[in-house]
């Protein structure tokens, strides 16, 4: 059709007739334009096999979006000339989306494996895991979202941001439910939800434990009408990377880059146990029966700890690169790690041996976070995010997956 399609940095796509080819010069004037979100970085034509004409255009942008624009040809004149009719173009249709910066955190709702939440530069997103499709996007300009969690009731997505605010959004609409300014003035880096719904009516609906880049740990009471600070604890001297709450909700653990993981009482708000090592801790969690703790960090070790005494009872070498991400199955039978060598590994909890991995770089960049989906009777889904903006969904291999929700061992059985 002698038309050039031009993509511009402001998101404009223009159709420009190449009249100058026959006249030897002249101005180029667009005959049609459309706008997409983000600057256009790529254009590709989809050509039909039978006549070689363009059927659609695929458009990529620097906002992580991919669009399709369909050509609609209107027959005109005699039948033998109908193939030459100039096409009209549909409005851009969004076909796929992606983050544009490092994906810092990922989580599933407590009782659903069909949805998961990710957070990155300037936004958080809710995804359909069955279709790998974005359902809701929440954007906050000029700040980064460092951590996310979903309430037990599933009625709010909680998020921590680099501007120091704790924000909650509706999971269906993406509208702001509440915001706590200066939750941590230097930035919120970790959070976890303590569900208190089964306590008497006048107590909080739930509590939120947050960690900051300044090393502070704070507990917030959340009700229908207000959000108040319950307690502030400051013993870490480095960034708080992870906070996890025990199943009985009486304590939590915070992991920090200062070489300490601290176990906190959520009833008296005092430190119970300190786990110390010569490493930068990146993640920590409880075994489902709460008798043991797992930690990972820059020393490439997975360490088992006795929860009551804080004594290290096993150290497993997980490679040569820093282990940056960790999650455990609800059955307690296996756990998953991700590392700076771009590898995901599935481990047998009791044996401390690798059951499956994707060594050789299954991710293009450092694995930033991993999350195992709640058991739903089918094979377990594993979501991993990376520092290159990628989000990857995996199926736990046969023979490893177990949909049982009960712990794999009794409290007095060592790993």
Q: What is the pLDDT of residues 189-230, one digit of tens each?
A: 999 999 876 554 455 589 999 999 999 999 999 998 899 999
Cβ-proximal residues to 220 (8 Å cutoff; 6+ apart), any chain: 166, 180, 183, 207, 208, 209, 210, 227, 228, 229, 230
Please report the pLDDT score of residue 72 as a whole number: 77
Q: What is the pLDDT of residues 9-21, one digit of tens each?
A: 999 999 888 765 5
Q: What is the pLDDT of residues 103-135, one digit of tens each?
A: 999 999 998 999 999 999 999 999 999 998 999
Backbone angles phi, psi at 333, to 5 degrees: -85, -25
What's this model's pTM, rounded to 2 decimal places? Answer: 0.86
Cβ-proximal residues to 243 (8 Å cutoff; 6+ apart), any chain: 190, 191, 192, 209, 210, 211, 217, 252, 253, 254, 255
More confident residue, 225 or 256: 256
Measured CA to CA, the distance from residue 241 to residue 105 in angstroms comes to 11
The answer to whether residue 79 scores a pLDDT higher than 80 is no
Measured CA to CA, the distance from residue 398 to residue 26 in angstroms comes to 66
Please report the pLDDT score of residue 396 as a whole number: 86
More confident residue, 296 or 22: 296
Please report the pLDDT score of residue 1 as a whole number: 57
User: Which strand (E) or helix (H) includes residue 20?
Assistant: helix 20-23
Instruction: Give the 3-state secondary structure of residue 343.
Output: coil
Mean of all residue pLDDT scores within the chain: 88
Cβ-proximal residues to 24 (8 Å cutoff; 6+ apart), any chain: none
Mean pLDDT of 390-407: 70
The answer to whether residue 270 scores a pLDDT higher than 50 is yes
């Amino acid at each position: 059709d002698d038309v050039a399609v031009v993509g511009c940095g402001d998101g404009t796509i223009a159709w420009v007739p190449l009249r100058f080819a026959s006249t030897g010069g002249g101005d180029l004037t667009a005959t049609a334009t459309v706008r997409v979100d983000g600057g256009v970085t790529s254009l590709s034509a989809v050509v039909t096999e039978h006549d070689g004409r363009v059927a659609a255009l695929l458009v990529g942008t620097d906002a992580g979006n991919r669009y399709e624009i369909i050509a609609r040809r209107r027959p005109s004149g005699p039948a033998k000339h109908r193939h030459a009719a100039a096409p009209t173009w549909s409005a851009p249709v969004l076909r796929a989306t992606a983050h544009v910066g490092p994906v810092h955190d990922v989580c599933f709702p407590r009782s659903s494996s069909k949805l998961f939440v990710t957070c990155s530069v300037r936004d958080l997103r809710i995804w359909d895991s069955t279709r790998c499709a974005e359902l809701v996007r929440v954007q906050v300009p000029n700040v980064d979202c460092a951590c996310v969690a979903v309430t037990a009731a599933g009625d709010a997505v909680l998020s921590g941001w680099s501007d120091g605010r704790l924000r909650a959004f509706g999971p269906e609409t993406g509208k702001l439910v509440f915001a706590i300014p200066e939750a941590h003035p230097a930035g919120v880096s970790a959070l976890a939800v303590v569900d208190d719904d089964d306590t008497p009516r006048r107590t909080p609906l739930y509590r939120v434990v947050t960690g900051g880049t300044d090393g502070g740990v704070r507990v917030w009471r959340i009700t229908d009408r207000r959000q108040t600070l319950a307690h502030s604890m400051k013993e870490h001297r480095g960034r708080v990377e992870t906070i996890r709450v025990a199943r009985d909700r009486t304590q939590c653990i915070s992991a920090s880059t200062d070489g300490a993981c601290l176990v906190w009482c959520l009833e008296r708000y005092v430190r119970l146990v300190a786990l110390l090592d010569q490493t930068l801790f990146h993640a920590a969690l409880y075994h489902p029966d709460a008798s043991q703790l797992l930690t990972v960090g820059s020393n490439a070790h997975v360490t088992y700890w006795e929860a009551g005494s804080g004594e290290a009872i096993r150290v497993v070498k997980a490679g040569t690169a820093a282990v940056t991400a960790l999650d455990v199955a609800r059955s307690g039978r296996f756990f998953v790690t991700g590392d700076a060598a771009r590898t995901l590994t599935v481990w047998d909890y009791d044996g401390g041996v690798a059951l499956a991995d994707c060594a050789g770089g299954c991710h293009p960049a450092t694995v930033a976070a991993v999350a195992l989906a709640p058991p739903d009777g089918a094979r377990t889904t594993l979501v991993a995010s990376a520092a290159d903006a990628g989000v990857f969904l995996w199926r736990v291999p046969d023979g490893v997956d177990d949909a049982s929700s009960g712990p794999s061992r009794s409290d007095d059985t060592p790993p």
